[in-house]
Structure 1
Amino acid sequence: MLNQYKNYFHIEPDKGLLNDPNGLIQFKGEYYFFHQWNRFNLNHDYKEWGLFTSKDLVHWTNRQSAILPDRSDDKNGVYSGSAVEKNGEMYLFYTGNTKVNGARRSYQKIVVSNDGQTFIKQENIIKTPEGFSEHHRDPKVWKYNDIWWMIVGAQTVENKGAITLFQSYDLLSWKYQGVFYTDPNLDQMCECPDYFSLDKEVDILTVCPQKRTSYKEDDQPISSYAGYIVGKMNYETKKFSQTSLIKLLDEGFDFYAPQSFLDEKGRRIIVGWMSRMDDNQENNCPTIEEGYLHCLTMPRELKWINDHLYQIPLKEYEVLRKKKQQFKNECGIISDNSKVFELIITFDKPVENFSLSLNSNTISYRDGYLEIGRINWVTKELEIKTLKITELTKVQIFCDNSAIEIFVNGGQYVFSMRYFCDKPKCEIEYKNLNEGGNITFYSYEEENE
């Protein structure tokens, strides 16, 4: 029987559970997206790195297993990390997780590949610095002024979230440099940190704060989220100083553990794990019947525009556009189409209210508030995310068979969410398209697909 939830252009596994994107890099002209993977089951008991590769960021090949938990210092999980290139070789950094008699130990580990196919673990390891619990993970590495820098998500022994900093001249030997950043907004632990510059005066630190009941093993259910902080790193003091409050990276239901990389075109591209499912949602996710769980978001280009972080859909996705339809009437129905499409709504004049429904999903704008709704597949009830915005000029929707990403005002805000609809086609109804408004619909599937 055909899997009606199988996504058309989102990365997802053929089996098992996928989570955090890892080691994102363009290496010798090819894009590498590693990811957390349990290929044996649909839970989080086992972690290795799986791998997808692509020439164009749209069409992907599943390369299956890349890095396995086969050493004493990573036997309980190959956790998240990053990638860089040096002298034609790919260097991968990840957290090796071990547990002995229930006690966690974390080690930052190094893997080298010269061909992108064989991955050789190095003997060098980085141990957790004094003053921190063993929740010390997810190394992100970059180069500045011929020096390699690494930040690692951390938790102090006082149960406070922090980010540690390390330095290297050869990517193999690393020295601890102190606390890169800490703040009460990081809650009791910070994981999956990332750091990059988008402007000469603006650096971005992305973080995933967690609430934890202690520095031992207990997480509060789905307390963590993905956010970003604007600031500047001082390479002399080796500290990050913030100039803004923490803000959400994504306003939707399903977005976490993002990671960015710089491609050969000079674009800063970010990808997230498309899930913030709680245990009940995960255990009742419809794709379980097909033997797999979760997907990644579309890659997005990051830009700093008018003192705001924009996430912009890649132009590469335009290659998927097939049949085109346009609508200008005040109200209308777009029917007899597949569930895989792109929808662009533009408003040339100020809009006071507008609404659109995509089967069980809803988008409405009224009195300066944008609401995005979906039906929870467990409770069967409507749940809504609300955002106050000063104006609405454009909505661009990328709809897959069980994933939707909504870009507002050219990427000023993004809503990501999973959805599960039993209807084979998606009926779209819109209301109150004002004068000068325009809707463009692109099907991503041929008629016979």
Structure 2
Amino acid sequence: MKWTKERRYRKMEDATKEELTKLKKIVNSSPWRQTFHIQPETGLLNDPNGFSYYNGEYHLFYQWFPLGPVHGLKYWYHTKSTNLVDWENVGIGIAPNDYFDSHGAYSGSAVNHNGKLYLLYTGNTRDEKWERHPYQCLAVMEQNRSITKLGPVISEVPKGYTDHFRDPKVWKEGDTFFAILGAQRTNETGCVVLYRSTNLLDWRFEGEVHTSLESFGYMWECPDYFELDSQGVLIFSPQGLMPEGDQYQNIYQSGYVIGEKLNVQQGNLKFSHGDFIELDRGFDFYAPQTMLDPSGRRILVGWMGLPEVEYPTDPYGWAHCLTLPRELSIRNGKLIQKPVKELELLRGEKTEVEALIKNECREFQGIRGETYELIAHFSRNSAEEFGMELRVGENEKTIIKYDSKIKKVIFDRSLSGEAVGEQYGTARKCSMESDDLTFRIFVDVSSVEIFINDGEEVFTGRIFPAKESKGIKFFANNGAVQLKAQKWEITS
């Protein structure tokens, strides 16, 4: 199907019931629909938005184009949960049907205030010359989950910045609200800027947050600032980075810097920080957003996908999903990402195995499947390399291994099934000094999320194997390794 500009900007309301029924049938025929991840009913999902806790429930919105697997006219779609595991589709949260969001309700965030949930988002517009003008817009959700738009609250782009000015992340500090936005300077370099407000309606431009990353990509998308363990953390997604060794291998990156807390109350926007570190070492991760839950946990969800990459689900009328929620902490100057404890609710039948793996590739009875959680601990290593093969079939396997010679973990999807993004490589690597490794892995129908050594490193990737590819193998080459593994079935 040819997605012309006119088709990309069709509204959900313009689609006929017959069209939607046909599209849903195509989507439901896909062999790669997920079991326990948030995914769109039809069309394309991208950035998580408005991640928050309000009125006794977690709320999570996402960017959505309902009529096909392309980046067309964006809506906010609304899901909710009481436990971060079982998500209920609520429906359209924000529709792009006003002058200030006529060409898309772009990304944004949420803040709880006076018993209501306020949504601050970018309204995208285009004029007759196709020139962009962004508005930062406010909407409010009541306890009955009805949402009312209040319109633009920031209508102009400050001098010195281009129309790439979007993705507000809002928070409250004392009696003051702050919002950080992704921006592009007129010299086409990326940065973030800060606004403040006392009432969410009237915003004052405070200026640019000064970092040491002055020429680091051409646009910083989806920024998120928060404080954790008495330190300031700035997450953002820079576009335009070139690969450097094992780093920056995807078309676009997501990462963070940690430093001294910003003194936003006093207007001191100098941010002293450490190096930029990628959040996820895998193939498919972008535009993450965090929230603070009632127990004080900082929880992150990301888009499990990337722009401008074709996926094997496209012919089936849908694309992408969201990652599992991850609890953040800081250890040795790095963000640690652990699957939230509530994910243990997914665990079904358990199988355990212990064995010495020596110069072999072994399968074990009961250790196989399509959707599962697997914890594999490797110790007493003398092998040149060791690891696992997942979703193994006659001609398919997804490889996760440790190379002891170069001290790196390697995630290889060159044989994972239908190809995706091969122009950006089929393997991802990260350095890891320890030979004593624990891999906690969540495998869904078309994805793998790998948490190494209690969240020290994370790899996320979409895979598209045949349904019958369900084998799991453990191997050690040129030596031996002690294996202890636990596997839990996950059902819908």
State the TM-score, normalizing by the size of structure 1. Answer: 0.91
Q: Deviations over 1:347-401 (max 9, x none)?
A: 3545653121112210111221111111373379781111111114311010000
1:239 alignment partner, SS class = coil
Of the three residues 334, 341, 346, the one matched with 2:377 is 346
C-alpha RMSD over aligned residues: 2.2
Of the three residues 338, 345, 349, the one matched with 1:319 is 345
Amino acid at match of 2:190: G
Equivalent position of 1:371 in the other structure: 410
Of the three residues 269, 272, 282, the one matched with 2:299 is 269
CA contact (8 A) 1:330 1:431 kept: no
Whole-angstrom CA distance in 1 between matches of 2:200 and 2:179? 9
Whole-angstrom CA distance in 1 between matches of 2:448 and 2:337? 15
Of the three residues 147, 170, 179, the one matched with 1:119 is 147
Of the three residues 383, 386, 399, the one matched with 1:362 is 399
Number of matched pairs: 433
Of the three residues 142, 146, 149, the one matched with 2:175 is 146
Task: Note the 1:9-408 alignment, pairs <5 A.
Answer: 9-100=36-127, 101-115=129-143, 117-126=145-154, 127-182=156-211, 183-200=213-230, 202-211=231-240, 223-232=251-260, 233-235=262-264, 236-276=266-306, 278-279=308-309, 282=310, 285-331=311-357, 332-334=362-364, 337-349=368-380, 352=383, 353-358=385-390, 359=392, 360-367=397-404, 368-375=407-414, 377-378=418-419, 383-391=426-434, 392-408=436-452
State the TM-score, normalizing by the size of structure 2. Answer: 0.84
1:330 alignment partner, SS class = strand
CA contact (8 A) 2:100 2:152 kept: no
Whole-angstrom CA distance in 2 between matches of 1:316 and 1:3? 28
The 3 A distance-change label for structure 1 pair 277 and 109 is: closer
Amino acid at match of 2:45: L
4+ residue segments displaced more than 6 Å = 379-382
1:317 alignment partner, SS class = helix
Whole-angstrom CA distance in 1 between matches of 2:131 and 2:308? 26
Shift of 1:222: 6.3
Shift of 1:130: 1.3
User: Is residue 2:470 matched to residue 1:440?
Assistant: no
Show structure 1 runs of 5+ residues with no match. 213-220
Whole-angstrom CA distance in 2 between matches of 1:294 and 1:415? 16
Whole-angstrom CA distance in 1 between matches of 2:420 and 2:70? 21
Q: Deviations over 1:110-136 (max 9, x none)?
A: 001122521111134202111111100
The 3 A distance-change label for structure 1 pair 37 and 347 is: same
Equivalent position of 2:462 in the other structure: 418
The 3 A distance-change label for structure 1 pair 351 and 322 is: farther
Whole-angstrom CA distance in 2 between matches of 1:278 and 1:98? 21
Show structure 2 runs of 5+ residues with no match. 1-27, 242-248
2:208 alignment partner, SS class = strand
CA contact (8 A) 2:382 2:481 kept: no
Q: Which stretch shifts more, 318-327 or 119-128? A: 119-128
The 3 A distance-change label for structure 1 pair 288 and 309 is: same
The 3 A distance-change label for structure 1 pair 34 and 205 is: same
Whole-angstrom CA distance in 2 between matches of 1:189 and 1:238? 23
Amino acid at match of 1:373: D
Q: Which stretch shifts more, 227-236 or 248-257? A: 227-236
CA contact (8 A) 1:110 1:122 kept: yes
Equivalent position of 1:218 in the other structure: none
CA contact (8 A) 1:222 1:278 kept: no
2:226 alignment partner, SS class = strand
Whole-angstrom CA distance in 1 between matches of 2:158 and 2:420? 44
